[in-house]
């Protein structure tokens, strides 16, 4: 009888622990990112990945041009004037130099997102700061001295300690929240905030 | 006889007791917190005059480096070099130059305002506007060396929109966001108006953290008035009200009916109370329906001005006594917000046109909206009773990214009203140098004033007793000056 009760308690404890772990892990944004990445093909990624391609509507006044959307704003807080619509184009077809065969600009961006996601899983939030500070944290400058960057994934660092894209331009990390980061590559023209920028959220 | 205290617990007993202990500890902690707040509320003195606080949240992170510009030649040279010709506003010899202001105090610097803000310059010269320099979230006072060494705790997730805007609203950066400082002030002062038909906390931009209290809830309105049931009016509304009034033995249905009935009733009361100020011509200085920056650009509809107009109407109704159809309130807190400040790109139109562009538009909207609001308060005779202040996620980098600026930390803020010790600057203007004493490393200012000090000064004016400041701002004791004296 006592043995049966003990077994039942153990089974319940294991099931409860499993449920808690599942709830904690599965509801984390980075876990959802990993889940999306395992899908094939990747329709969800297409909606998240874009080149920053403004509409060619020249009637939009210059003064209202394209501030980066702030997704933390309440829905009913609006900017002073309309923002131009952004046409979402998958970046998978954007060609560029490949540090290693197969490491296309899009692949490197995805790997970057994974590295940040791994950091977030380990430390409970994204690394923060500018490119140099984020790079340092991803590259072992953290409490547990864990290195999240792998050269095989196309993670390259310039002399100023900044992570760079396939064209050699430092990435821009737009911190939306503690767990949401927009990663921007300047794209082929190597100039940030132009229409050929590659963006991964 | 067996000694019970020495008996061995079975696993089942242990789990049961541990669970009870955990629940008990949680409940006790919660109860202690609530009791502490209850005691504070009981001890709080209840003033009888009318006062209102109006928070204007500039969502996205305002580039205050271009709101207040140093004008001493050497400092301006530092400013313009670091900002580059993509962002630096001209001081002279070009269109849209910085508007000089003349503070009554001397801190060794001279300043000017963005050329899109002539109304703010007027208010400053009228001593109805003050400027607070380099304010931001801090856990402890922090030097550059301490920032770099990590010797002292920093606010978590610096430079992240969502975290920083929440921390600005809670004023407790190192704790989980449970309540906002406006809500905590309201908890202490709500007892002075038990019969008020609407909450002490009113939001014009939907739910916010700032006005979340332990007991006080925020009341949400739009720029047009109370939020009403869509498509339900006249006989339909009467029928619905009749149905809601029907007796029902089910407690959940009864509670739902009560809440809905109360919301309908309150909305009707509010709309009736503000009806007399509906005409735009009611205000001697009209709130701008459309804003055009004086520096150039196309006109656009101002969401901020429409919010401020509604705040003015609600202050008029809230202050008016009940015998005259008003609410007879003694304290009101309002939250307004406007987005679009996250200008990584398109901040200006570029070299030679830095006074024009998205940021100029936003500041023109702020300037014209604040001016109309201040004049409205003067018209109501409530200028000394209403204090308006700005808040934002963070400042922005002094250095340009060639098309805009990136996320910073400390930033400059505005406080407006008749009670403000205006035409003065407060706090310390940062040394404009990359890798200078105030810089993390890219023109992001380490705040020299904590938001706790900023907001405690406002809360003190609002009527929170000095003995209760520590309840509203638990970290205030870490900073040397709890009252900055700007109001």
B161 close to A176: Cβ distance less than 8 angstroms: yes
Which of A9, A178, A192 shows the shortest C-beta gap to B160?
A178
- Residue B396 backbone phi and psi in degrees, to 5: -130, 165
- Tell me the pairing of strands B111-113 and B129-136: unpaired
Per-residue pLDDT of B25-72, as tens digits, reads 555 555 555 556 666 666 677 778 999 999 999 999 999 999 999 999
Given an 8 Å threshold on Cβ–Cβ distance, is B358 in contact with A64? yes
**DSSP 8-state secondary structure symbol assigned to residue B49:** S
> Where residue A57 falls among pLDDT bands split at 50, 70, 90?
very low
A1 or B214, greater pLDDT: B214
Given an 8 Å threshold on Cβ–Cβ distance, is B15 in contact with A9? yes
Distance between terminal CA atoms of chain B? Answer: 73
CATH number of the domain enclosing B58 = 3.40.720
User: What is the per-residue DSSP string for B102-155?
Assistant: --SS--S--EEE-TT-HHHHHHHHTT-EEEEEEEE--SS---HHHHHHT-S---
A79 or A127, greater pLDDT: A127
Residues 23-62 of A with CB under 8 A from B: 61-62
- Residue B52 backbone phi and psi in degrees, to 5: -135, 145
Which of B59, B303, B404 shows the shortest C-beta gap to A70?
B59
What pLDDT does B93 receive? Answer: 85
Buried b vs exposed e over B147-185: b needs ≥16 C-beta within 10 Å? beeeeeebbbbbbbbbbbbbbbbbbbbeeeeebbbbbbb
Residues 110-139 of A with CB under 8 A from B: 125-126, 128-130, 132
Residue B416 lies in a domain: yes
> Where residue B10 falls among pLDDT bands split at 50, 70, 90?
confident
Residues ≥6 apart with Cβ < 8 Å to A165: A96, A105, A108, A109, A171, A185, A186, A187, A198
What does pTM read for this prediction?
Answer: 0.81
User: A68 CB near a chain B CB, below 8 Å?
Assistant: yes
Domain count, chain B: 1
Which of B206, B302, B358 shows the shortest C-beta gap to A63?
B358
Q: Where are the alpha helices (DSSP H) in chain A?
A: 2-26, 29-37, 43-48, 105-123, 131-138
Residue B235 lies in a domain: no
Given an 8 Å threshold on Cβ–Cβ distance, is B206 in contact with A178? no
Query: How many residue pairs bridge chain A and chain B with CB atoms within 8 Å of each other?
Result: 156
Given an 8 Å threshold on Cβ–Cβ distance, is A64 in contact with B298? yes
Residue indicated by tokens 């009361």 = B269
For the cut 70, the answer to whether the pLDDT of residue A60 exceeds it is no
User: What is the per-residue DSSP string for B151-180?
Assistant: -S---TTTT-HHHHHHHHHHS-TTS-----
Given an 8 Å threshold on Cβ–Cβ distance, is A67 in contact with B356? no
For the cut 90, the answer to whether the pLDDT of residue A56 exceeds it is no
CB count in 10 Å sphere of residue B278: 12
Written out in words, the top-level CATH class of the domain with range A37-56+84-200 is: alpha beta
- Secondary structure element (H or E) that encloses residue B74, with its range: helix B73-87
- Residue B435 backbone phi and psi in degrees, to 5: 65, 20
What pLDDT does B121 receive? Answer: 97
What pLDDT does A61 receive? Answer: 31
Rounded average pLDDT over B309-338: 95
Per-residue pLDDT of B231-255, as tens digits, reads 888 888 889 888 888 888 888 888 8
Give the chain B residue nearest A193 (alpha carbons).
B345
Given an 8 Å threshold on Cβ–Cβ distance, is A78 in contact with B340? yes
Please choose, from the candidates B444, B200, B428, the residue with its C-alpha nearest in 3D space to the C-alpha of residue B328: B200
For the cut 60, the answer to whether the pLDDT of residue B482 exceeds it is yes
What pLDDT does B75 receive? Answer: 95
Rounded average pLDDT over B456-467: 95
Range of the domain at B445: 52-224+277-478
Least confident stretch, A92-96, B91-95, B195-199, B434-438: A92-96
Which of B205, B293, B342 shows the shortest C-beta gap to A74?
B205
Residue B355 lies in a domain: yes
Extract the tokens encoding B228.
């009403």
For chain A, what is the mean pLDDT?
A: 71
> Where residue B290 falls among pLDDT bands split at 50, 70, 90?
very high
Residue B262 lies in a domain: no
> Where residue A49 falls among pLDDT bands split at 50, 70, 90?
very low
Per-residue pLDDT of B200-235, as tens digits, reads 999 999 999 999 999 999 999 999 988 877 788 888
For the cut 50, the answer to whether the pLDDT of residue A188 exceeds it is yes
What pLDDT does A54 receive? Answer: 35
Peptide bond into A41 cis (omega under 30): yes
Per-residue pLDDT of B366-392, as tens digits, reads 999 999 999 999 999 999 999 999 999
Which of A61, A80, A128 shows the shortest C-beta gap to B158?
A128
């Amino acid at each position: 009888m006592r043995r049966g009760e003990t077994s039942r308690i153990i089974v319940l404890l294991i099931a409860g622990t499993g449920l808690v772990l599942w709830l904690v892990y599965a509801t984390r944004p980075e876990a959802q990112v990993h889940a999306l990445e395992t899908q094939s093909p990747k329709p969800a990624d297409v909606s998240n990945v874009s080149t920053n391609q403004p509409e060619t509507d020249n009637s939009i006044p210059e003064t209202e041009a394209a501030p980066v959307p702030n997704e933390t704003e309440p829905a009913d807080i609006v900017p002073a004037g309309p923002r131009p619509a952004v046409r979402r184009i998958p970046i998978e077809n954007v060609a560029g130099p490949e540090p290693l065969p197969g490491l296309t600009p899009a692949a490197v961006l995805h790997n970057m997102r994974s590295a940040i996601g791994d950091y977030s899983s380990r430390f409970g939030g994204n690394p923060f700061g500018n490119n140099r500070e984020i790079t340092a944290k991803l590259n072992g400058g953290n409490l547990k001295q864990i290195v999240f960057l792998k050269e095989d994934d196309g993670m390259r660092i310039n002399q100023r300690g900044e992570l760079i894209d396939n064209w050699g331009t430092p990435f821009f990390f737009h911190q939306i929240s503690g767990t949401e980061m927009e990663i921007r590559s300047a794209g082929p023209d190597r100039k940030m905030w132009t229409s050929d920028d590659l963006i991964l959220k | 006889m067996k000694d019970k205290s020495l008996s061995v617990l079975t696993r089942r007993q242990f789990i049961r007791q541990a669970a009870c202990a955990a629940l008990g500890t949680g409940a006790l902690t919660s109860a202690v917190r609530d009791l502490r707040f209850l005691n504070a509320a009981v001890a709080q003195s209840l003033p009888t005059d009318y006062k209102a606080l109006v928070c204007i949240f500039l969502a996205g992170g305002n580039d205050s480096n271009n709101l207040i510009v140093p004008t001493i030649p050497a400092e301006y040279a530092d400013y313009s070099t670091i900002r580059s010709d993509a962002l630096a506003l001209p001081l002279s010899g070009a269109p849209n130059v910085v508007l000089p202001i003349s503070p009554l105090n001397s801190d060794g610097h001279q300043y000017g305002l963005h050329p899109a803000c002539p109304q703010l310059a007027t208010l400053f010269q009228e001593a109805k506007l003050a400027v607070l320099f380099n304010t931001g979230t801090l856990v402890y006072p922090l030097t550059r060396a301490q920032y770099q060494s990590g010797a002292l705790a920093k606010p978590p997730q610096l430079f992240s929109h969502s975290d920083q805007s929440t921390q600005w609203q809670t004023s407790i950066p190192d704790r989980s966001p449970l309540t906002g400082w406006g809500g905590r002030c309201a908890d202490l002062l709500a007892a002075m108006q038990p019969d008020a038909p609407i909450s002490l906390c009113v939001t014009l931009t939907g739910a916010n953290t700032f006005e979340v209290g332990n007991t006080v809830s925020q009341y949400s309105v739009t720029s047009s008035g109370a939020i009403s049931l869509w498509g339900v009016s006249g006989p339909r509304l009467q029928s619905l009200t009749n149905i809601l009034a029907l007796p029902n033995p089910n407690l959940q249905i009864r509670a739902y009916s009560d809440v809905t009935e109360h919301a309908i009733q309150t909305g009707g009361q509010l709309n009736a109370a503000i009806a007399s100020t509906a005409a735009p011509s009611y205000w001697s200085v009209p709130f701008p329906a459309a804003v055009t920056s004086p520096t150039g650009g196309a006109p656009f509809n101002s969401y901020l001005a429409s919010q401020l107009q509604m705040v003015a109407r609600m202050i008029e109704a809230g202050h008016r006594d009940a015998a005259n159809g008003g609410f007879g309130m003694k304290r009101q807190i309002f939250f307004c917000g406007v987005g679009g400040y996250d200008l990584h790109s398109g901040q200006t139109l570029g070299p030679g046109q830095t006074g024009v562009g998205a940021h100029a538009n936003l500041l023109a909207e702020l300037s014209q909206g604040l001016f109309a609001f201040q004049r409205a308060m003067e018209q109501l005779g409530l200028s000394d009773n209403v204090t308006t202040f700005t808040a934002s996620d963070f400042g922005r980098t002094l250095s340009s990214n060639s098309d805009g600026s990136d996320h910073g930390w400390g930033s400059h803020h505005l406080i407006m009203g008749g009670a403000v010790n205006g035409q003065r600057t407060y706090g310390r203007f940062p040394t404009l140098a990359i890798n200078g004493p105030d810089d993390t490393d890219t023109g992001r200012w380490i705040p020299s004033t904590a938001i706790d000090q900023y907001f405690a000064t406002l809360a003190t004016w609002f009527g929170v007793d000095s003995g209760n400041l520590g309840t509203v701002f638990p970290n205030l004791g870490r900073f040397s000056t709890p009252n900055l004296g700007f109001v």
